[in-house]
Amino acid sequence: MPDQIQRTIGLRTATALVVGSIIGSGIFMRPAEMAALLGSPLYMLLAWVIAGALTLLTVMVLAEIGAMLPETGGQYAFMQHMYGRFWAYLYGWAAFAVINCAGTAGIAFIAAQYLEYFLPLPRFDPAMEQAWSIHIPMVGRLYPLQQIGVKLLSICFLILFTIISYRSTKLGAMVQFVFAAAKVLAIGLLAFGLFLSAKGDPANLFTPSSLIKPTGFALVLAMVAACNGALQALDGCSNMLNLTGEIKNPGYNIPRSLLLGLLSAMGVYLVVNTAMVYILPVDQMAVSSLVASDAAMIAFGPIGGGIIAFLITMSVLGTTQANVLTPPRMSFAMARTGSFFKAAGVVHPRFNTPGNALLIHLAVMIVMTLSGSFFILTDMYIFIVWVFNMMLMVGLFILRKKYPDRVRPYKVWGYPWMPILVILFDGFYVGITLYDDVRNYLDGKSAVMNSVLGILLVLLGIPLYAWFRKTAGGTGASSSSP
């Protein structure tokens, strides 16, 4: 029976995984939210640029670490080298409970929601949707029966992609490559089709809202919230790092696939966002529920809008598949060190995949899908992502000191000032986001404090740490990842 997962993934597939993990739901949902927050097309583009620059600088740090430590488990393995077992476990738990499972559930939710363009999905009447709720003290109230048809279809997608990834990592990666190629083509057609439709107005790109005009500190809060949406749309490139133990020639392929994938996605996002603003004035965009389809409807009519809605669904499904495929590798690595359920660390004897880890993730994703909505799930996970990203940035300094002679096929540009700048921005972003979430909840503007819910789910992992330590015999397995 195999005990190690083999290196079978090359540069092309790794880059496709990065692109596929990034380009998905965010660009099709977040522009409307950003328009409602900022009320200015130019401010919207600025938010994308800020988020893109921050993500790029973060990826440069992760590229150095990943090329130096090409181990299955990605950031979990990195945290273990940086901070030791407990903090690696806490990151791994956060990734399992919040970042990966909640985030993937949110993305699948959008794929199902866009399919409603063709086939209205069943849902309960408003009274029934509100009849059952789950109240979490000091966090908010969840309504599992809301949009039940969308949630059940989301679960079907998650089950399908789990089956594919369970049977073959190579097949999952091949499916992802097809999705990635299709989504880049589809988004390119969307963007250039909107520009060439002659149904837009260049003045839309420079005309601010007549109703939404945040100023002063309110503008700062709005910009941070808009960047939160952009960061969610750009998040996902680090998912590929969960497969670093399966990538051929990791010192060469890891940094290049990260940078190529992220830069490609950033370029696509800026073009698509500009094209949608060209068609939809900012006030109209601010109230759109399916902004890309609404823009396509204006530009191409009902048939063209339907084609675009279908292509968008395929794009989001590709992101869902990438997020089903890669994150269970972290849980697999955690189980190998005695920091997770032992069964998750077993390699399937026939398919040579972390099959049990995939099934555990599926179960939690189903629960997350039933309990939340796109914005609750994604805002919660992106907040936790950037809390731990701050620790990873600090960890770069730790690794430079701890392993001064380790071969580094790639070194981050601008060390040490660039990582310090990212750390400072991370701290500002996390603090402002937490403040804004609490303020909106207390003012009755939101039912859930998304960032606080994320923190609570992370803290729930602390009692389990002692239990995992006990069941692992006090020491656990070897600290090295497979």
How confident is the model at residue 357, as a pLDDT?
Answer: 92
Asked if the 15-471 domain carries CATH number 1.20.1740.10, the reply is yes
Other Cβ atoms less than 10 A from the Cβ of 314: the count is 15
How confident is the model at residue 284, as a pLDDT?
Answer: 92
Distance CA 329, CA 64 (A): 20
Distance CA 59, CA 52 (A): 10
How confident is the model at residue 296, as a pLDDT?
Answer: 86
How confident is the model at residue 478, as a pLDDT?
Answer: 38
**Could you write out the DSSP letters of every residue in 21-85?**
HHSSSHHHHHHHHHHHHH--HHHHHHHHHHHHHHHHHHHHHHHHHHHHS--TTTHHHHHHHHH-H
Give whole-number Cα distances, 359 to 101, 202, 262, 365, in Å.
Answer: 12, 49, 29, 10
How confident is the model at residue 25, as a pLDDT?
Answer: 65
Distance CA 111, CA 97 (A): 21
Residue 479 CB burial class (10 angstroms; 0-12, 13-18, ≥19)? middle
How confident is the model at residue 155, as a pLDDT?
Answer: 95
Question: For residue 134, what is the enclosing H or E element?
Answer: strand 134-136
Residue pair 65/396 in contact (Cβ under 8 Å)? The answer is yes
Give whole-number Cα distances, 128 to 132, 372, 447, 462, in Å.
Answer: 7, 16, 18, 36
How confident is the model at residue 36, as a pLDDT?
Answer: 93
Distance CA 62, CA 255 (A): 8
Residue ranges for the chain with pLDDT beneath 70: 1-8, 20, 24-25, 72-73, 173, 176, 180, 182, 184, 236, 238-245, 472-482
Distance CA 261, CA 248 (A): 17
At a CB cut-off of 8 Å and minimum separation 6, what does 266 contact?
Answer: 48, 52, 55, 56, 234
144: cis peptide before it, omega within 30°? no
Listed residue (339, 362, 341, 332) closest to 2, CA to CA: 332
